[in-house]
Chains A and B, each alone.
Chain A
């Protein structure tokens, strides 16, 4: 299957700082990338959908000014958690969709655990 790399895998930061998470599709061009958040023992909740070169579409209840998403190329999307607070601590996962043979299949990164102190 397709490979999606997510970095960093774990980050600890102080309250009020910003954190950037990168998501790269390594062996295919990702037309669309998705960002999810998972709380302990819960399902994956979609935060936003990003298409290369255009603004991200955020799900209801997700603050777009807090969670900045940039999809500058077909292989890279970034999520920046701005002015992070302890309640932002969570597991963030990206996925990429490339179309073609990967039709309807999203391939996921390994996730980033964010801990805000």
Chain B
């Protein structure tokens, strides 16, 4: 049972444009969401997170939007840069505990020149 889903396995965006990566979840108990970036043969790098009490969190070029009623979150990267090319994973957890993360299947972003 895939509780966190990223339905787009890949995405190609031109440099300077906006990249939008989507993530859906089914478990309404999740109340904390994170995005990680991963290069091949490396561990994931934390990018940005959002609590369920918010609907938006922004950090530089990265903005995460949360729509609880739709159980959907998205990561916006603007402007996209070639160095952003990587696999992006969304993850969900429960606050208040050192709880395990449930990862999505990942979206491979390629930023072209």
Contact surface of A with B, Cβ cutoff 8 Å? 1, 4, 6, 9, 31-32, 34, 42-44, 46, 49, 51, 91, 93-95, 97, 99, 103-111, 113
Q: Quick one: closest B residue to A9, CB to CB?
A: B41
A106 neighbours in B (Cβ, 8 Å): 46, 101
Q: How far is the CB of B22 from chain A (nearest CB, A)?
A: 15
**Contact A113–B95 (Cβ < 8 Å):** no
**Contact A104–B99 (Cβ < 8 Å):** yes
A42 neighbours in B (Cβ, 8 Å): 105
Q: Quick one: closest B residue to A45, CB to CB?
A: B103
**Contact B98–A31 (Cβ < 8 Å):** yes
Q: Is the interface of B mostly helix, strand, loop or mixed?
A: loop
**Contact B46–A105 (Cβ < 8 Å):** yes
**Contact B95–A103 (Cβ < 8 Å):** yes
